[in-house]
Amino acid sequence: MYTEQYKGINYNDGQTAQVVDVLAIEVPLAIAVNGVPFTLTMQTPGQEMELVRGLLFSENIFRSTDVQPVITITGKDAAGFINAVSVSIPPHLVLKDFAGTRNVISASSCGICGKTEIESDDQQPIQNTLILEPALVPAMFEQVSQHQKTFQQSGGTHAAGAFTIDGTLLVVMEDIGRHNAVDKVIGYLLDHQLLEKAKCITVSGRISFEIVGKAKAAGIPFLMAVSAPSTLAVDKAQEGGISLLAFCRNKKLTVYSNPGNVATEQQGMVTGHVKHQNHV
């Protein structure tokens, strides 16, 4: 658990008191690939190797499952946290010219921050023939919750969990950024040869389109969240062959895309965009 104690002044119905709260640690991590700076991402310390592995995979920089990249720690801060790594990849396995695609800080709240443009997705949709039982979903989130040790202390981190189609837990990762937690999960699955078994991924918080992109890159056909999806997330999930389930709490959920792969009595109903917009 990566937390620290901070003093604050609590205000409660006109009364003030000094408190000591536990906060989640946020630190920068600079990543270079083959000697070229790639990104500076804000993250929770721990599982840096999984984070880097998953990030390069989901960003379509390095997708090989047969060759392990060599990740070297090149810097630590005064507290001993890793703040810089260098990744060595055989040049012929680097899938695109990444120089300049991320040239500023990637904030912990945003997986696309630091990119110069939103890239087109030329990957084929996931061909999914599996059927998910909705009754399994609450237990998945409960298992993830039980592993959120840093969140239980600080209330300041997100979590992602990977599961088989029958709800067997494969891994849970925490991070101050939702996208980092997903990348750490993908990196772990790659490193432990479990990616083929992973069919469901849960995330805390909302689902934005970059989370959908990471699930698609990993070939995971079911994406679930406790909160809301964005419009672009739903559209990208529908196009990408992903069943997106949101508001998964209190034994309820809403299926927003590809509902035919979710076992409900309403499988014949249509999901998708309603041509009515509210602009405030």
**188 - beta bridge partners?**
none
Q: Rounded CA gap, 89 and 32, in Å?
A: 11
- Are residues 39 and 114 in contact, defined by beta-carbon separation less than 8 angstroms? yes
Q: What whole-number distance in Å separates Cα of residue 231 and Cα of residue 256?
A: 10
Read off the DSSP letter of residue 262: B
Take residue 95 and report the two structure tokens written for it. 């899938």
Is the distance from CB of 223 to CB of 211 less than 8 angstroms?
yes
Question: Could you please report the per-residue DSSP string of 177-219?
Answer: SHHHHHHHHHHHHHHTT-TTT--EEEESS-B-HHHHHHHHHHT
Q: Would you say 140 and 167 are in contact if contact means Cβ atoms under 8 Å apart?
A: yes
Catalytic one among 110, 113, 200, 248?
110
113 is catalytic: no
Give the distance from CA 130 to its chain's centroid.
22
Q: Which of 193, 251, 192, 190 is nearest to 217 (CA)?
A: 190
Give the span between the Cα atoms of 65 and 61, in whole angstroms. 13
Ranges of beta strands (E only) in 25-79 are: 27-33, 36-43, 70-76
Active site residues: 110
